[in-house]
Chains A and B, each alone.
Chain A
Amino acid sequence: MKLLEKTNRTYLLLSGTAFIMASLIIYLALSMIFDSQLKEKMYDSKMHVIQSIQRFGIILNDPPFVEVKENLKGNSEYEKNVDTLIFDSAEKENIPYRQVISSSLINGKYYQIIIRNTLIEKSDILITIITVLGFVFALLLLSLNILNRRISLKIWKPFYLSLDNLKKFSLENSDFVLTSSGDIEEFSQLNATLEKLTKKIISDYQSLKRFTEDASHEIQTPLSVIQSKLENILQFPEIKKEQAESIQAAFTATTRLSKLTKALLFLAKIENNQFEDSEKINFSIIVSNQIELLKDFIAEKSLTVSVRLEDNFILKSNYLLTESLATNLLGNAVRHSIPDGNIHIGLTNGSFRISNTGAPLKVPTEKLFNRFYKVNMTSDSPGLGLSIVNKICEVNNWKLDYKVENDLHTVTVTF
């Protein structure tokens, strides 16, 4: 819910309650006033009737408002209020009347005096009150709303400005600033805090990246020492088979570690935008060269490869990145293809498509592009190939798609 909507709702709820309460109070008060006035007026009429009999012996009769008659059987004075309905022949409806029926002893005779007065219909009063008050409240709400909107626009403007700026926040953009927030202290504080926060995030991110890069570099030298020592041991003529096998295993492990750090370094460099030089690249040639390089592995697995390459498919990008994209995707297809499987490679209509027959994925496809994500946990590969591909597509604004259909895994890069 938006801020303005929220305040409006609160206003509506409050004024609604006030409206109902005010209507009720006014109604009750008016009723009371009407009643007491009516009572006074009817008392006056009764006095008038009595006086005219006392002084002039005239019996006033004005039905249905005043009805006076001598009550021969009367023996006491009383007064009672009985409301009644009287049919009005002119309006053809029953009209409510208040009537005071009294018996009075005047000049030694008892008279029955009936004073009547039309009652104002309560529903009429209520409707009037609701209409008038409703109008007033509606006017009030409307003006409040307009006012609120204006104030919001003005007061909250810096807030929305900061919000827009924050939406543009990116870890890669190290010179992120929130624009000034005007004279409202809360917003200034908010901005200051946010700025501190984003600066911290950016600097943490940068140092993490630097750490990855430095660590990867630093690991290479000790690895070289290990590898060269192992290679030297292997040259001793008296070495035994078991020793040779252990050395080989250690060798393989160092190679793995070295490849892992190199891949991490490569990723870090892509993220640092260290591959900014772009040139015109004949992607068709890159792809066919890579296929040529993989020939031995394709033959080893007895894979059937069908290739459909558009000639001279030109891309404008970084050469190393483009080559890495092709190597990774083609290599993955070969690696993950089942023996005697099929690989289809297509470079047509602005997209590069590679399919291979493989075992069905047991995992959600989104995870496939995550770092160190391995479909096969026993695999020697560090699981960075697809995240490198993903990163390359990201920096080049290429679209990367992956889908599985009938054991056919297809990766599509749309340029």
Chain B
Amino acid sequence: MKILIIEDEIELLSSMSDYLVSEGSLVETACSFFKAEDALSVYNYDIIILDLTLPGGNGLDLIKLIKEKNRHAGLLIVSARNSLEDKVRGLDMGADDYISKPFHLAELNSRIKSLVRRRHFSGLTELVFNELKINTETLEVTVNGTVAEMTKKEFDIMLYFFVNRNKVITRDSLAEHIWGDSLSYADNFDFIYSHIKNIRKKIELKGGKNYIHNVYGIGYKFSDR
């Protein structure tokens, strides 16, 4: 998968790039409006990540260019301005998703994967990990072909693990992905633990292995290693 990241903050750019490269994507970067223009006119990308606040021009103008030159690319907008107008305008102009700073890299990755699924609908609705299979259309998790019944939240957690496999995912990141803003009203993260426990139980009940590993009490890693 070929991804172009347009972001003026070099350090953030490198973090995003590192994470996505380790996920097996081919990543190119542009740190200014003009470099982005150059890159866009030469290559085609599957996914473009665009920071709206760029030196040298408004990111919204770049959307037009992207729509001209790279019609088939999935477009994910990043903005420090957590403002509705930017979001609405961006989405109106053809962006596919919007993420506001600061964000978890796992969340970014999950959004990209979801975007890819939506873009290339056929053949990508099923994600496989050893004996586990997850279907994003029917919202089913199967172990060795038998369905393990899961709640919507449990399914969302599983999907987050699937797309961020072999990565350490912090509880913050997971909780924010599932519970969003209402999370700030929780006193602790114990409720995540009970969900994870239920998922493990359900998978083991169907004869699956436990791939969800605790990482020093700070998060989890979905891995068979």
Contact = CB atoms under 8 A, between A and B. Distances in A.
Interface of A: 217-218, 220-221, 223-229, 231-232, 234-235, 241, 244-245, 247-248, 251-252, 254-255, 258-259, 262, 265, 269, 274, 290, 293-294, 296-297, 299-301, 320, 327, 330-332, 334-335, 381
A235 B164 CA distance: 11
Nearest to A292: B182
A244 B82 CA distance: 30
Interface stretch (B12-20, B58-66, B202-210): B12-20
Interface stretch (B110-118, B137-145, B184-192): B184-192
A228 B12 contact: yes
Given A228-B16, A235-B22, A296 B179 contact: yes
Contacts of B103: 224, 227
B215 interface: yes
A235 B12 contact: no
Find the residue from B11, B176, B194 having the highest chain A CB count within 10 A: B11
Contacts of A226: 102
A300 B191 contact: yes
Given A235-B22, A299-B191, A225 B182 contact: no
B104 A293 contact: no
A294 B172 contact: no
A331 B12 contact: no
A199 B152 CA distance: 55
Contacts of A332: 185
Contacts of B39: none
Interface of B: 9, 11-12, 15-16, 18-19, 22, 80-84, 100-106, 153, 167-168, 170, 172-173, 176, 179-182, 184-188, 190-191, 194-195, 215-219
A244 B216 contact: yes
A381 B186 CA distance: 10
B80 A231 contact: no
A255 B171 CA distance: 12
Given A220-B102, A232-B105, A294 B184 contact: no
Contact of A229 (B15, B83, B216, B218): B15
Given A228-B105, A297-B185, A241 B216 contact: yes
Given A224-B102, A244-B215, A293 B182 contact: yes
A235 to B, nearest CB: 6
B179 A293 contact: yes
A245 B168 CA distance: 13
B101 A220 contact: yes
A40 to B, nearest CB: 106
B185 A254 contact: no
Given A223-B102, A247-B218, A254-B102, A235 B168 contact: yes
Contact of B167 (A235, A259, A320): A235
B181 A327 contact: yes
B22 A297 contact: no
B15 to A, nearest CB: 3
Contact of A231 (B82, B170, B195, B215): B170
18 contacts: A217-B80, A221-B80, A225-B11, A225-B12, A226-B102, A231-B106, A232-B18, A244-B215, A245-B217, A247-B218, A254-B102, A290-B182, A297-B186, A320-B84, A327-B181, A330-B185, A331-B182, A335-B185
A233 B158 CA distance: 23
Contacts of B190: 300
B8 to A, nearest CB: 9
A258 B218 contact: no
Contacts of A232: 15, 18-19, 105
Given A227-B103, A228-B15, A290-B182, 18 more contacts: A217-B80, A220-B101, A224-B12, A225-B11, A225-B12, A229-B11, A231-B19, A231-B104, A245-B217, A248-B216, A262-B82, A293-B179, A293-B180, A293-B182, A296-B186, A300-B190, A320-B84, A381-B184
9 pairs of A and B residues whose beta carbons are closest in the complex = A331-B185, A228-B15, A224-B102, A248-B218, A220-B80, A220-B101, A244-B216, A223-B102, A224-B101
A231 B102 contact: no
B179 A251 contact: no
Contacts of B80: 217-218, 220-221, 224
Given A217-B80, A335-B185, A296 B19 contact: no
Nearest to B18: A232
B12 A221 contact: yes
A258 B176 CA distance: 13
Contacts of B218: 234, 244-245, 247-248, 251
Nearest to A381: B184
Contacts of B215: 234, 244
B82 A265 contact: yes
B41 to A, nearest CB: 27
Contacts of A224: 9, 12, 80, 101-103
A300 B186 contact: yes
Given A221-B12, A296-B191, A231 B182 contact: no
A255 B185 contact: no
Nearest to A331: B185
B19 A252 contact: no
A248 B81 CA distance: 26
Contact of A334 (B172, B176, B185): B185
Contacts of A327: 181-182
Contacts of A262: 82
A176 B120 CA distance: 57
B9 A221 contact: yes
Contacts of A297: 182, 185-187, 191
Contacts of B181: 327
Contacts of B82: 220, 262, 265
A321 to B, nearest CB: 11
Nearest to B225: A237
B168 A234 contact: yes
